[in-house]
Amino acid sequence: MHLVADREGVIVEEDSLQDRILEWLYGCKAGRVILRPLISPVVSRLGGILLDSRISRVLIAPFVRRHSIDLSQYEKSCYTSYNDFFTRRLLCGARHIEECPEVFVSPCDGRLGVYKINGLRAFSVKHSRYTVFGLLKSRRLAKKYAGGYLWVFRLCVEDYHRYIYVDGGRESKRVRIPGVFHTVNPAAGDRLPVYKENTREYSILKSDNFGEIVQMEVGAMLVGRIENRPVRDRARRGQEKGKFAFGGSTVILMTREGRVRPDEDILENSARGIETKVSLGERIGVKPCGDNKPEGV
């Protein structure tokens, strides 16, 4: 069971059958034995093959009913496979993307937690301790983010699984770090540093308004593919960066010290261990007044 707040401050407890199963798998020795093959890249690839097949279409209708998904918001209503449905694209205009240059926006739909990176370039998510180097595998890059913020967007299976660039700017080459495929459900995050163990991919956006931003995509249980579009020499705010295949998954942003101030409700919720439900393109922070630092500082 975990707590999620909306932007109006209403807090709900999420405690599904899936949550209880995952809590058992990660919470006892027998469950962890069962988990070992499930988190392997081989099983993830096999799951991807099944969910790309035409027979997997039988899973679509029950999923739509269970999660009350309004298919009229999407570009098409007939799908060739479950993954074709899972990676469906919203109609143009179905999400409002805040265009004000000083406003920092969410790259995706999901449940957001924001965490301060201390001077040692370390931070905690739930009960797991991390370092920026552990995520990025680059000491040079990790040094830049001391004092900044880490933004963790956890996507559930019912969320929209495409994500965008949060600002205009130039994108670096991508770095891919192989790993396993733990679930990103809090049942795992409470016990394991899943974000530094899972397969992930990141690039640096030299953004127009917020300095250098790390954007990282993290695969999760039964997510065999992080499907990013080719690197863009020049990205636009709101432009699609990529999508995830089936399963829960995570987008992580890192912002440098003094470049973005998270909205107070999100900071307060995160400090209390409560995730905040956000939508692609909505405001989640703002550029502090008087931020005139030159690029690279």
- Residue count of the chain: 297
Q: Is 249 a catalytic residue?
A: yes
Please state, in angstroms and rounded to a whole number, the distance separating the CA atoms of residues 294 and 31: 51
Q: Are 226 and 209 in contact (CB under 8 A)?
A: no
- Tokens for 152, please give them: 């963790």
Please report the DSSP string for 202-260 in residue order: EEEEEESSSSEEEEEEE--TT---EEEPPPPSSB-TT-EEEEE-SS-EEEEEEE-TTT-
Please state, in angstroms and rounded to a whole number, the distance separating the CA atoms of residues 45 and 237: 32
Catalytic residue among 56, 81, 203, 249: 249
* 253 closest CA partner among 135, 120, 129, 86: 135
Please state, in angstroms and rounded to a whole number, the distance separating the CA atoms of residues 142 and 146: 7
Q: Are 9 and 264 in contact (CB under 8 A)?
A: no
With 0-12 / 13-18 / 19 or more C-beta atoms within 10 angstroms meaning exposed / middle / buried, residue 3 is middle
Q: How far is CA 156 from CA 20, 70, 111, 196, in A?
A: 15, 16, 8, 19
Q: Is 291 a catalytic residue?
A: no
Catalytic residue among 44, 56, 81, 109: 109
DSSP 90: B
Contacts of 9 (CB under 8 A, 6+ apart): 265
Active-site residues, by number, are 109, 249
